[in-house]
Structure 1
């Protein structure tokens, strides 16, 4: 019996050495969770045996339990390096259409050839679908799908409106030859000009220029009037319903274009406030095929919005003060085709892509999964686990909600192994092994002594 007791002690000491060695081997493994060998004594007695004199039957390894304590956070320069602070696991699937889920704390993710977010083992990171405002449409694990990062932001958007805020100098002299003599190529025929880049239906850019000509104050003494003419890529564009027709100076370069060009009229009070415009809606004529030569939509028109407020002065309106010509705001609503320039991942797991055209788009929200009993998870290697009967069913949710931890982008959770403690445990396990070996040796000597008795 003593041989069996010593042998069980040797086996337990060897198991302790194995567990400690495995912890030390994975001290630099991202997302690794240390294990602890748990032992119980063995005690067996028959019904009629004397319980008061019964000796135990040795030791048994009851469990090798992983310890899911938080590991330290290491910061990196990769936005797809993810670390969880608190409870939760990332969920991954081996293939896009697979239902076989594995769970991990190792957040070393990257993009594969198809722009899916994957880990080193090729597992696809799962995320919840999101609405355009970034809110989650569902947080059920059954609706989670592999996260994919598109390289383009979709179709371009043609410019439909330009917003202008500016000051036109009150002290400017009017152009005596205007409007008949206006020529966009001659700076002496207009007072000021400004330009903005607009986009057609194909996302191609064009330069839209606005020319401002001060009119003779003797014509309308109650107000000061300016005429605004427009051109796109150097070709004059008519303002339907406008006034102050001029002979088209670019007619030779614009075959089929109008013989005259209308401009919009802007009226200011003696206090410099913007009081009226003509027409009421300032819009350009359709940008014809001589301007859009790339096959874009030639029915495109552009509204020029001066934010006229008939109720009174408005800080968004243009002004006519005794100051220099100054454009304080010049914006348009068109977009070129955007290319991916970066990723932002919030603490709640929202993945937002930013593009070269200045737009950003929410793509997905990283799914976090928790279990009633983390130690009941089945280890499958690759710093991953799978659900088991002992762990309970997976509960999915968003980062930072409920009992779920938060997600850190550009960070990794290091192993939670304490190397100093493991080295001490290694020494303790070694001495335990030596002591049980000595016990086995003494048992053998006693048996030899008994066998030598005659």
Structure 2
């Protein structure tokens, strides 16, 4: 029995090492959220077992939990680099598959068609507005910047306000609001499914997204010209790495000890 108990311990330590290694590898990934491994003990017994004689048979991985604490904000100076100062996720939709993603990585740019996108063909979603910035509907739409305004003047620049207004400037000096950035929130964000590239998708555990305007209610404001960095603390992860390594070594030693005991019993002579 001790062999299997310690073997479980080795597997659990390996899982812990994998999670910590993933955190460390993404310490410079914008919008990344660290995870931690949670364990629980396992015991074997029945309704007729004396509770004073119930044996533990190791541990199991209960969950790999995500930590959505805000990361440090770095100033970049680029107008389409956005950071959420508080709660909320940017929403993007893949122009290829139509799948909806949620992210804290606000490194956006304009493509040739005028879409505000993340570089992976995922287009930022906004509330529709009139040219003054008043929201005209609750159905999200693509953030699309026209190449010319109503007067036929060429596009000159783009800014995003703290309230989420995406404002396009044109050669004649006019400014037109083309949408308001929509922020998503979830009743259980730790239930979001990781998709890579600092993207998440909703699940039955996370619940469906509810949307709101930046700098209102529970939703944080937007910082333009800034990006949210990873929330990984390298010092904390290195300590965890040492702990997981020691845990692995201790379980390996327990297997070695059990092997020696078994060998001693086998070698007994009557």
Which TM-score band applies after superposition, normalised by the shorter structure? over 0.9
SS of alignment partner, residue 420 of structure 1: helix
1:126-137 correspondence to structure 2 within 5 Å: 126-137=125-136
Unaligned runs of 5+ in 2: none
SS of alignment partner, residue 37 of structure 1: strand
Q: CA deviation at 1:96?
A: 7.8
Determine the C-alpha separation between the residues in 1 that align with 2:97 and 2:128.
16
1:54-453 correspondence to structure 2 within 5 Å: 54-95=54-95, 98=98, 100-138=99-137, 140=138, 143-155=139-151, 337-453=152-268
Determine the C-alpha separation between the residues in 1 that align with 2:153 and 2:28.
39
Conserved? CA contact 1:71–1:414, under 8 Å: yes
SS of alignment partner, residue 107 of structure 2: coil
Determine the C-alpha separation between the residues in 1 that align with 2:7 and 2:46.
22
What are the Cα deviations for residues 318-369 of structure 1, in whole angstroms up to 9, with x where unaligned?
Answer: xxxxxxxxxxxxxxxxxxx432222221112101111221111111001110
What are the Cα deviations for residues 225-247 of structure 1, in whole angstroms up to 9, with x where unaligned?
Answer: xxxxxxxxxxxxxxxxxxxxxxx
Q: TM-score, normalised by structure 2?
A: 0.96
Runs of 4+ in 1 over 3 A off after TM superposition: none
Determine the C-alpha separation between the residues in 2 that align with 1:12 and 1:120.
37
Q: TM-score, normalised by structure 1?
A: 0.58
Determine the C-alpha separation between the residues in 2 that align with 1:29 and 1:91.
18
Q: CA deviation at 1:402?
A: 1.2
Conserved? CA contact 2:89–2:183, under 8 Å: yes
Determine the C-alpha separation between the residues in 2 that align with 1:425 and 1:352.
45
Q: CA deviation at 1:153?
A: 1.6
Determine the C-alpha separation between the residues in 2 that align with 1:37 and 1:121.
30
- Hey, what does 1:46 align to over in structure 2? 46
Determine the C-alpha separation between the residues in 1 that align with 2:96 and 2:169.
24
SS of alignment partner, residue 393 of structure 1: coil
What are the Cα deviations for residues 147-168 of structure 1, in whole angstroms up to 9, with x where unaligned?
Answer: 111222222xxxxxxxxxxxxx
SS of alignment partner, residue 43 of structure 2: coil
C-alpha RMSD of the superposition: 1.3
Q: How many residues align?
A: 269
SS of alignment partner, residue 43 of structure 1: strand
SS of alignment partner, residue 44 of structure 2: coil
What are the Cα deviations for residues 379-433 of structure 1, in whole angstroms up to 9, with x where unaligned?
Answer: 1112111110100111001001111111111110000000111111111111111
SS of alignment partner, residue 15 of structure 2: helix
Determine the C-alpha separation between the residues in 1 that align with 2:77 and 2:46.
65
Task: Name the larger-Rg structure.
Answer: 1
Determine the C-alpha separation between the residues in 2 that align with 1:432 and 1:97.
43
Distance 1:47 1:68, change over 3 A: same
Conserved? CA contact 1:368–1:397, under 8 Å: yes
Q: CA deviation at 1:79?
A: 0.8
Q: CA deviation at 1:449?
A: 0.6
Q: CA deviation at 1:439?
A: 0.6
Q: CA deviation at 1:84?
A: 0.7
- Hey, what does 1:21 align to over in structure 2? 21
Determine the C-alpha separation between the residues in 1 that align with 2:59 and 2:81.
43
Q: CA deviation at 1:108?
A: 1.0
Conserved? CA contact 1:96–1:124, under 8 Å: no
